[in-house]
Chains A and B, each alone.
Chain A
């Protein structure tokens, strides 16, 4: 009985869809999937994301077999052969007063395709390795953020009263801090020392730190809309009916409320991923995200900052990667929102 009630609002919502009328017996998920498959922008964005993820996953293959380089080891005195000519990776100036050294320019061959950074490391190989970290941190932080936000928002909205008051005030305090200021404060405190939580140990340069920091700072951004959704669901007819039938509160929460919050959370996944990639890059650029020898797109941009005049590719390449990824995720996010919650399209 309650299971039937739980599915009802989503089915009702489906019947409202103007763009894709629901077929009898079709689940809202398959209907959303059908809409997404017809959305060309979504498909393009998805393909771009798949290509980026695949390229990043293939980083060890690229570095080991094609570029034949270790992107984490300085190579300041090495040289390579380009077009049959031996070239120093770090080239000392031979003109004028002989001031300065410049890393090798993009060769557009497998080795040093995008040139070298100020440590003589292959930028293309680092870009792929950096992408792995950026995507990993963004995904994991998104997951943490969604889980925490769902839990806090649902509990606050469903139980109300003093529980809601306390949780809402905590969210407001967190909300009141500028995001980057909060992230920087947390990073400075956490990055300079090792952390022991019971038997668990987090090293000072661990990737877990930026993941947790980014995961926490955006919780209010999702928890508040989730709470709002739960507040409206709590007063909806099917929940009132379930209460009237004496169904336990935990069962209403799990079976009736949570499934209806899931759509809100799904819509946020790509948007939060995009936001987290940008945040991770910003923190790493400020030296408080990913720590050397690990790389991320943010740290590579930072490495390139000092080479903007002579080797702009070092900063440009990760910048383009971030723009492409964030753009693809935002397009995907819009499409997912339209597919999962078609009413938004009508507003």
Chain B
């Protein structure tokens, strides 16, 4: 028996050693592959296109998907979302920090050790002083997430009150000799690393002015630097001469020598330019009437990938008729989500949904309360039940206005909702207003918006980024343009459960995700919103673009594709 055990031990040890050797060899092989790929494909100019620029290139101010994608190549934080394919892109890896630190003091303290030898694009070394100054700058420039992402750092409340003299004293402590930076939080935060991994927590030189940089480039540590930027013309990115790859997962060396991002080309023109090989990629989604052509004639240049997002109709729970839960449920029952999928471009490009958390997202468990056959997925609308609920509510005949964005898809979705509401017996109209103002307009309670069309794309992969952000009492500020809880729904009990889930996530993320799944369902029972569909992302690239990698976090990893 003992001899057999001994043999088993030896066998398993040999097996383990073999596996280890195989993994090591695979690592070496992959490094060699990458080196040879870099040798083979490096160089050339990649040309990108967008209808318009996305404003400032200050990474601590800009809050757009368009430029966050660019910042992946130009800037780094202490940690970063992995530059990898699909859901691997949700993984957080050490970047300027040597490793992801273990929590101390019950999750209230994290000590990062800074890598040595990393330089900014201006040639200066990255030091602990730069880290402290960068976090102070988030508050000094009134960064858009200073009050939501970074308000849990000790001293943040003082910085929010007096931004100019922000020190984050006691919140971020640098030890220059040891090369460490200690973060002290007021409360344990399960999403702390996510918040450090977005571009707002970029590390910049300590001397960076505490004003929005606008069109001027602030030196970063990424593989590329922005050589010039004119929002009315183009942005030119060149290789950062001081860059040396330290982590292929966080900031890999890129393939193209130069990346030119052109602004002002309409979608139709951009499609033609890509077809002719004059442009390599467009940021904006292809127009609906070109999709069939692209999917048929250019199938090998089209990349369809899921997005952690959803289109939804927030219903104002404080205004008639949607202050009645039966009406909100009726709308959810009445919507033919397949029809909306058709509007968006068909089943390949969107998926019907009747819950808030998107598929393959932390906390998501298939569930649909508002279907002909309620269960795990949506099958068909139940107009009979919807009409019965409206009758019970006694609200039929009331005037309802749907407010949509004046874009082709939002307008079409709004028109469809207006049609559904009319069928339910309401005197419904639709109003499409400029995309520049619609998002803030529907948030402000003074505008008395009853129901609207909106979309939400995650900042980082945590259930709270949907449920807590969109439906917590704290997200509802009456009379403000910045009240992201558009439905104005405030349920103290569910709020408490969300706080518990966030607390649980610090030590037990799986248990927390189970709690979020229940919360998702609990919110949908009250139906403050009508989820419509989860969209997919369509990228159309030129023939010469190779090695297309799509990260679920920041979409196409631009510099990991080559053009020659």
Q: Which of B271-303 contact A (CB under 8 A)?
A: 287-297, 299, 302
| Contact A306–B302 (Cβ < 8 Å) | no
Contacts of B447 in A (CB 8 A): 192
A309 at the interface (CB under 8 A from B): yes
What's the nearest-Cβ distance from chain A to residue B347, in Å?
A: 7
Contacts of B411 in A (CB 8 A): 287
Contacts of A305 in B (CB 8 A): 408
B206 at the interface (CB under 8 A from A): no
Q: Which one, B346, B399, B414, B538, contacts A93 given CB within 8 A?
A: B346
A19 at the interface (CB under 8 A from B): no
Contacts of B428 in A (CB 8 A): 293
What's the nearest-Cβ distance from chain B to residue A6, in Å?
A: 49
Contacts A74-B415, A119-B416, A205-B401 given; does A97 touch B348 at CB 8 Å = yes
Task: Give the complex CA separation of A96 and B538 in angstroms.
Answer: 14
What's the nearest-Cβ distance from chain B to residue A172, in Å?
A: 30
Task: Give the complex CA separation of A53 and B143 in angstroms.
Answer: 58
| Contact B299–A97 (Cβ < 8 Å) | yes
| Contact B429–A205 (Cβ < 8 Å) | yes
- Per-residue CB contact flags for chain A residues 85-98 toward chain B (1 = under 8 Å, else 0) read 00000101101111
What's the nearest-Cβ distance from chain B to residue A76, in Å?
A: 3
How many residues of B are counted as interface, with CB atoms below 8 angstroms from the partner's CB atoms?
Answer: 49
Task: Give the complex CA separation of A309 and B271 in angstroms.
Answer: 12
Contacts of A292 in B (CB 8 A): 414-415, 418, 429-430, 432
What's the nearest-Cβ distance from chain B to residue A298, in Å?
A: 13
A291 at the interface (CB under 8 A from B): yes
| Contact A96–B299 (Cβ < 8 Å) | yes
| Contact A291–B431 (Cβ < 8 Å) | yes
| Contact B288–A306 (Cβ < 8 Å) | yes
- Per-residue CB contact flags for chain B residues 287-323 toward chain A (1 = under 8 Å, else 0) read 1111111111101001010000000000000000000
A134 at the interface (CB under 8 A from B): no
Q: Which one, A74, A92, A100, A293, contacts B289 given CB within 8 A?
A: A100
A-side interface size class: 35 or more
What's the nearest-Cβ distance from chain B to residue A30, in Å?
A: 48
What's the nearest-Cβ distance from chain B to residue A303, in Å?
A: 9
| Contact B430–A291 (Cβ < 8 Å) | yes
Contacts A76-B342, A291-B430, A293-B429 given; does A306 touch B348 at CB 8 Å = no
A77 at the interface (CB under 8 A from B): yes
| Contact B432–A73 (Cβ < 8 Å) | no
Task: Give the complex CA separation of A99 and B434 in angstroms.
Answer: 28
Contacts of A287 in B (CB 8 A): 406, 411, 432-433
Task: Give the complex CA separation of A319 and B531 in angstroms.
Answer: 37
| Contact B294–A99 (Cβ < 8 Å) | yes
Contacts of B441 in A (CB 8 A): 192
Q: Which one, B290, B292, B299, B431, contacts A204 given CB within 8 A?
A: B431
Contacts A90-B342, A100-B288 given; does A309 touch B295 at CB 8 Å = no
Contacts of A110 in B (CB 8 A): none
Q: Which one, A90, A192, A308, contacts B431 given CB within 8 A?
A: A192
| Contact B296–A96 (Cβ < 8 Å) | yes
B384 at the interface (CB under 8 A from A): no
| Contact A118–B304 (Cβ < 8 Å) | no
| Contact A97–B288 (Cβ < 8 Å) | no
Task: Give the complex CA separation of A10 and B141 in angstroms.
Answer: 75
- Per-residue CB contact flags for chain B residues 524-540 toward chain A (1 = under 8 Å, else 0) read 00000000000000100
Contacts of B289 in A (CB 8 A): 100, 102, 306-311
Task: Give the complex CA separation of A151 and B299 in angstroms.
Answer: 65
| Contact A77–B339 (Cβ < 8 Å) | yes
A221 at the interface (CB under 8 A from B): no
Contacts of B340 in A (CB 8 A): 76
What's the nearest-Cβ distance from chain A to residue B535, in Å?
A: 13
Name which residue of chain A comes closest to B406, CB basis.
A287
B51 at the interface (CB under 8 A from A): no
Q: Which of A176-208 contact B (CB under 8 A)?
A: 188, 191-192, 203-205
Other A-B contacts than A98-B347, A100-B288, 18 sampled, CB-CB below 8 A, are A73-B423, A76-B336, A76-B340, A92-B347, A99-B304, A99-B348, A99-B538, A101-B343, A102-B292, A192-B433, A204-B401, A205-B431, A287-B411, A293-B428, A305-B408, A306-B289, A307-B288, A309-B287
Q: What are the 9 tightest A-B residue pairs by CB atom distance, in nearest-first order?
A: A100-B291, A99-B295, A76-B339, A97-B295, A96-B296, A99-B291, A74-B419, A96-B295, A100-B292
